[in-house]
Amino acid sequence: MIKKNSLWIYLALLPTFALLIIFNYWPVFSAFRHAFYKWSPGGVEEFIGLGNLKRMLSDWILWKGMCNLIIVMLFSITIKIIVPLIVAVVIFHLRSERQRYLYRVLFVVPMIVPFIVTILIWNYIYSDAGILSAFLDAIGLGNLKRAWLSDPHIALFSIIGVGFPFVSGFALLIFYAGLMNISESVLESSAIDGASSFRRFFSIELPLILGQVRLILILVIIAVMQGYEIFLILTRGGPGYETMVPGLWMYLCGFSFNEMGYACAIGLFIFVMMLGLTILNMKLFRPIKEL
């Protein structure tokens, strides 16, 4: 039985849950339902069952985007985990607490800049008269200049390079927090035993922060599979379809070609892939405490 005093608390929570259902859960349910319809806003809904799935199987643009997505994901998982982890370890082993704080702040400050601003800056860097081309001219390597975003051979890799040197402030803080959580007695014991820095990292520190590695891995996978803004702004999937990804194709089908039913089907496909990869990640990367 619910006590009278508690009843008012549950009643106060009702508006919040109602808003969550209307604006968060209902759009997801609607997208899943419309994945089985031929539908466009303002048009008549036509149930076609697995018709959108059959169309996806023969949609070469979608599968071209999948190939590009795999390349981007492999790079992102490798660089966006390894680089912040290395930087976090280096900062963690600084002797001065003031220096640790200073470097943490310096790496976190760029998080203030909106992501769209970062993309526009990189658009200027890659332009014909941009910073990258000017730098190559300045050091006498002007022959290496390319049409960075319109050359089909390097456009995808140019987009992958956005964010260099790839030190995410959020990932760095997560790794640093995991390192701070390691007992000092464990680190002191390894130092007394004469363990080198590399051995201490691979034998003690890394196994004890696998929980943080798993978290960042899941977030990177979700961000890469959902993200399409950078491709939309820089290349819109071009030249041709060399920088197309499933998220961008979903957006174009829904808002450019007015095929919302097919866009919902692609969204459902992306959701199933993310769910599968997340479950696989949670099974493979188990923190040391759970072993």
pLDDT tens figures, 158-203: 999 898 888 888 899 999 998 888 887 877 777 777 777 778 888 8
Q: Which domain, by its residues, includes 71?
A: 35-173+211-290
Would 19 be classed as within a structural domain?
no
Contacts of 88 (CB under 8 A, 6+ apart): 172, 175, 176, 179
Q: How far, in Å, CA of 76 to CA of 156, rounded?
A: 13
Answer yes or no: is 182 within a domain: no
- Give me the mean pLDDT over the 84-92 stretch: 91
Does some domain include residue 128?
Answer: yes
Q: What is the mean predicted confidence (pLDDT) over 85-89? A: 91
Q: Residue 290: what pLDDT?
A: 41
- Report yes or no on 196 lying in a domain: no
Angle at which helix 169-180 crosses helix 60-92, to 10 degrees, equals 50
Q: What is the pLDDT of residue 70?
A: 93
Q: What is the tally of structural domains in the chain?
A: 1
pLDDT above 70 for 286:
no
pLDDT tens-digit map of 23-72: 988 988 888 888 999 988 777 888 998 899 999 999 999 999 999 999 99
Q: What Rg, from alpha-carbon coordinates, does the chain have?
A: 24
- The predicted model scores a pTM of 0.85
Strand partners, 47: 37
Query: Nearest-CA neighbor of 179 among 203, 199, 208?
Result: 208
Using alpha carbons, select from 25, 49, 70, 27 the residue that is nearest to residue 254. Answer: 27
Q: Are 158 and 192 in contact (CB under 8 A)?
A: no
For residue 143, give the CATH number of its domain. 1.10.3720.10
